[in-house]
Structure 1
Amino acid sequence: MPEAYADILVVDLLGGIGDLLMLLPAVHGLARRNPGARLRVLTHDPGAELVRADPAVAEVRTPRHGRPGAEREAVVEALAAARPDLAVSTTRYDGIAELLEAAAARAVTNLWRGPPPHQPVGARYLEILHAEGLLDAADRSARPRVHVDDEARRAGERAVARLVGEPLAPPVVLVTDVGMAVKRWPGRRWRTLAGELARRGHPVLTVGPVDPDAPLGVPLPRSDLPTLAGQFAAVGRRGGVVVGSDTGPVRLAAAAGATTVALFGPTDARRYGMGGTDLQGLPGCPHRRPTAITEQPCWWEARCPLDAAGPACMADLDVAAVLAAVAAR
């Protein structure tokens, strides 16, 4: 019989919403494999909002402050509160892996180890946990699914219904902003895309900052992440599509059940794809490192070695290709 664990601590302190979403299938798989277990998640805000209402998760912890060392302190506190039977972590900096290995009865602290260049990150997590005997074979094909509670679902439905009415074509949501400049699609292309979608009868909604002098569409109401997930779910129920770069809100849309068209530049779509239509800009870029993206010369400052004007990979994605992908979806 496979070993069962009563207290499971899952640690994801990489910082991004997308990082947590890629780990969700592992969280849910561990909960299914260990019915009745107390499964705790330690992660950052605001992503923590997405698992607080998840029925698979008994407790959510976050670091208490944003100063250096906060993440290590949070791990120490979680371990002091209860010694886990099993600890699983994506996070290895600041001695966090060693803390977990010393305190937990069993620990799997490197879900990034030895990835093939084109294996999706989330699939790698699941494969390692399956090899460790912690997940079933069926779990290896699981996709991220965020729990949208009734309140968030109703709020999302009300917002989208108010904005789109009874359109002739499904709505399209444009996620125009992204946390890193190296992943940004040129603004003029967003404007061209929005104009063509509107001409074809699609209600165009937006998430993120919008230039008031060049509006792209109707902004979705600002909300917390669970309500945003509810809005994306409402768009998905209408057959709509969410378009954006490789960023957390687009991953959230996919995890909430909406169809996505994701624009990939510096990150490799084969590693970080979202399961919808993943468009790769400049597939043959000699500087892209699928398993070591932070070591790419463009990563931190968006200084592209191929084009001083901006990321050549994002510029390689033209409006016609995005429109065709939206139409196909």
Structure 2
Amino acid sequence: MARTYGEILVVDLLGGIGDLLMLLPAVHGLARRNPGARLRVLTHEPGAELVRADPAVTRVRTPRHGRAGAEREAVLDALAAAPPDLAVTTTRYDGIPDLLEATGARCVTDLWRRPPPDQPVGERYLAILHAEGLLDGVDLTARPRVHLPAAARAAGERAVARLVGEPPAPPVVLVTDAGMAVKRWPAGRWRELADALTGLGHPVLAVGADPVDPVAVPLPRGDLPTLAGQFAAVARRGGVVVGPDTGPVRLAAAAGVPTVGLFGPTDARRYGMARASGAAVAGSPAAGVDLQGLADCPHRLPTAITEQPCWWQACCPLDPSGPACLADLRVADVLAATRAAAGRGTATARDGRGAGLAGRWRVS
């Protein structure tokens, strides 16, 4: 019989909302495998908001300050508060794996080991933990899901109902910003897309819109659970969320919305979101789409994205005006993918890297 653990510490201090969301299936799998365990998650704000109400999580801890060394201190604090008998971490800087292993607990400190270029990051986490005997086979197909408190769900429903009611065409939410310049689709393309969708009868909403000149009606600002509630309300109306490889789009997928992901420097095979959608059914147009710009870029490193020459400063070696990969994603292609994901189109999506719309789609 497989061993169970009573005190579990999961550390994710990579800094992004999306990083935590990709780890969520592993968190839920560990809780399911160890009923009654005290499972703590150590992560950053604001992502911590997404797991505080999660019934699988006993307690959420965060670093106490933002200065250098805060993450290492937070790990030491967590270990002092309650030594774990199982520790799992995505985070390998500042000697954090050594701190965990020094406790004598069972530890998994390298979830990045030998990743295949075409295996999604979250699935890689699950595969490694399964190989370590810490998850069951049923966990291998799990996808990110956020637990929505009733208040957040109700607030999201009120906000979306006030903005779009029960529209005849599904609403579309555009996530126009990204945390890094290298992931941003050209600004003019967003306005073209919004105009085209509006002309076809879709209510168009926006997250991260320019407050002075928004491309669409902005969703009311709130905390992350409320945003997830808004996304759930969009999903209930058959809607779609469109955006780059960024946390809010991953949150939409984890809240059950089909997504159209715009991928440039990151490889959609590793970071794609289509399979995460709660509305997804294999072969269904509502499953969502990951669009890969300039799929054959010679500078893309699927398993070492931070080593790409464009990564930190968005200085593209192929185009001095901006990332050529994102410029390669045409408005017509994104529009067609959005309509199909909303169940409003009939295009057939297939995996491929050739020219044309179908060659740009990766669908789950």
Shorter-chain TM band: over 0.9
SS at match of 1:94: coil
Query: Offset of 1:289 from its aligned partner?
Result: 0.2
Deviation at 1:233, TM superposition (A): 0.5
Q: Which residue of 2 aligns with 1:264?
A: 263
- Per the alignment, residue 202 of structure 1 pairs with 202
Are 1:325 and 2:325 counterparts? no
- Contact 1:173/1:207 (CA < 8 Å) preserved in 2? yes
1:160-186 Cα shifts (integer Å, max 9, x gaps): 000002322010000001110000001
Q: Is the 8 A contact 1:266 1:293 kept in 2?
A: yes
Q: Which runs of 4+ in 1 moved over 6 A?
A: none
The corresponding residue for 2:164 is 164
Aligned match of 1:315:
327
Distance apart, 1:196 and its partner CA? 0.4
Residues 175, 208 of structure 1: 8 Å contact kept: yes
- Given that 1:83 and 1:104 are in contact with CA atoms closer than 8 Å, whether structure 2 keeps it comes out as no
For residue 282 of structure 1, the aligned residue among 294, 302, 327 is 294
Cα deviation per residue 1:109-134 (whole Å; 9 max; x = unaligned)? 11010101111000000000000000
Q: Which runs of 5+ in 1 are unaligned?
A: none
User: 1:70-103 CA distances to partner (integer Å, 9 max, x unpaired)?
Assistant: 0000000000001101000000100000000111
Shift of 1:104: 4.4
Cα separation, 2, equivalents of 1:130 and 1:165: 44
- What amino acid sits opposite 1:282 in the alignment? L
Corresponding residue of 1:178: 178
Check if 1:236 corresponds to 2:248.
no
Structure-1 separation of matches of 2:105 and 2:338? 48
Instruction: Note the 1:60-99 alignment, pairs <5 A.
Output: 60-99=60-99
Report the equivalent of 2:7: 7
Contact residue 111 and residue 125 of structure 1 kept, 8 A: yes
Within a 5 Å distance, the mapping from 1:102-117 to structure 2 comes to 102-117=102-117
Give 1:216 deviation, angstroms.
1.5
| 1:300-311 alignment, distance < 5 Å | 300-311=312-323
Residue matched to 1:29: 29
1:128 correspondence with 2:131: no
Q: How many angstroms apart in 1 are the aligned matches of 2:230 and 2:137?
A: 33
Partner residue in 2 for 1:294: 306
Give the structure 2 partner of residue 193 of structure 1.
193
1:57 aligns with 2:57: yes
Deviations 1:225-281 (A, max 9, x none): 000000001001110000000000000000001110000000000000112310000
Name the TM-score, length of structure 2 as normaliser: 0.89
CA distance in 1, matches of 2:80, 2:211: 48
3-state SS, counterpart of residue 262 of structure 1? strand
Aligned residues with identical type, % of pairs: 79
Residue 212 of structure 1: CA displacement? 2.8
Which amino acid counterpart does residue 295 of structure 2 have in structure 1?
P
2:252 is matched with 253
C-alpha separation in 1, matches of 2:199 and 2:340: 17
1:230 aligned counterpart, secondary structure: helix
Unaligned runs of 5+ in 2: 276-287, 342-364
Post-superposition offset of 1:211: 5.6
After superposition, the C-alpha distances for 1:15-72 in whole angstroms (9 at most, x for unaligned) are: 0000000000000000000000000000000000000000000000000000000000
- Closer, same or farther: CA 173–318 of 1 in aligned 2, 3 Å: same
> In the aligned structure 2, how far is the partner of 1:167 from the partner of 1:133?
48
**Is the 2:209–2:215 contact (alpha carbons within 8 Å) kept by the matching residues of 1?**
no
Q: Secondary structure in 2 aligned to 1:9?
A: strand
